[in-house]
């Protein structure tokens, strides 16, 4: 790979983000531990009735994973702002939207992917039917990168503010409600034997649109925040 090219810059940025996450792997495990604790508390709160837990299992796991990923969004650009590298990204001759897309990829791989891998265990705790598990995994595979892309825009808008966690949550939550409705709806439809492809196709369409537009919007928002 030729040094100085855009591809080399993207590869270096991904390598740096993965290395930083590995050094702070204790903090990186917090979203996964949060999701496990949330799901594990439901049997204690509702009782050991397997039929009741089965009815709420898909939605509970879906919400727990999305909330766990939401907790990690505030750190998407925070460390880069503190060490000055975020300004260097903005001043870089390479396309800022592409560099931010690489950071979103790194965030998804280090935060959402472990949650998706742990989803079968979380589903087992709530007696999710085996036939619904593939639908849940597909829904999470579509919803989690969509949340990362939407969150990147909101984080870029608030990154220059101190203690922006509450404001970030207020910005992101209304935007992910449709993701939650369609993702959990697909799982619930599969659980009762109804067609579930339409909600998944809607999620896929939104993800395709977000992949194109979200990095551009995040780059514009970041330039506004740092001006």
- Predicted confidence (pLDDT) per residue in 96-116, tens digit: 888 889 889 988 998 889 999
Structure tokens at 201: 């196709």
Distance CA 103, CA 194 (A): 38
Q: ∠ at Cα 224 (13, 84), nearest 5°?
A: 40
Name the residue with tokens 């409705």.
181
**Gyration radius (Cα) of the chain, Å:** 18
Q: What is the pLDDT of residue 157?
A: 84
Go through the chain and tell me how many residues it has. 227
Distance CA 75, CA 104 (A): 11
Name the residue with tokens 């999620």.
203
pLDDT (tens digit per residue) in 183-215: 988 988 888 888 889 999 999 999 999 999 999
User: pTM value?
Assistant: 0.88
Chain centroid offset of residue 3 CA: 31
Nearest one of 38, 190, 187 to 115, comparing CA atoms: 38
DSSP class of residue 75 equals G
pLDDT (tens digit per residue) in 125-160: 888 888 888 999 999 999 999 999 998 888 888 877
């Amino acid at each position: 790979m030729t040094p100085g090219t855009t591809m080399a810059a993207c590869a270096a940025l991904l390598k740096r983000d993965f290395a930083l996450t590995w050094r702070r792997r204790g903090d990186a495990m917090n979203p996964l531990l949060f999701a496990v604790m949330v799901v594990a508390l439901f049997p204690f709160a509702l009782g050991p009735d397997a039929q009741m837990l089965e009815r709420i299992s898909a939605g509970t796991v879906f919400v727990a994973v999305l909330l766990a990923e939401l907790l990690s969004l505030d750190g998407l650009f925070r460390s880069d702002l503190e060490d000055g590298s975020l300004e260097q990204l903005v001043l870089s001759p390479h396309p800022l939207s592409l560099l931010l897309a690489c950071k979103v990829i790194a965030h998804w791989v280090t935060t959402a992917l472990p949650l998706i891998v742990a989803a079968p265990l979380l589903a087992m705790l709530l007696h999710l039917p085996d036939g619904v598990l593939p639908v849940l995994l597909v829904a999470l595979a579509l919803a989690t990168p969509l949340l990362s892309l939407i969150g990147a825009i909101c984080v870029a808008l608030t990154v220059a503010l101190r203690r922006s966690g509450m404001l970030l949550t207020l910005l992101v939550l209304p935007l992910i409600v449709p993701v939650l409705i369609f993702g959990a709806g697909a799982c619930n439809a599969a659980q009762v034997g109804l067609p579930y492809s339409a909600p998944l196709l809607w999620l896929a369409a939104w993800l395709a649109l977000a992949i194109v537009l979200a990095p551009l919007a995040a780059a514009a928002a970041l330039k506004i925040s740092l001006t």
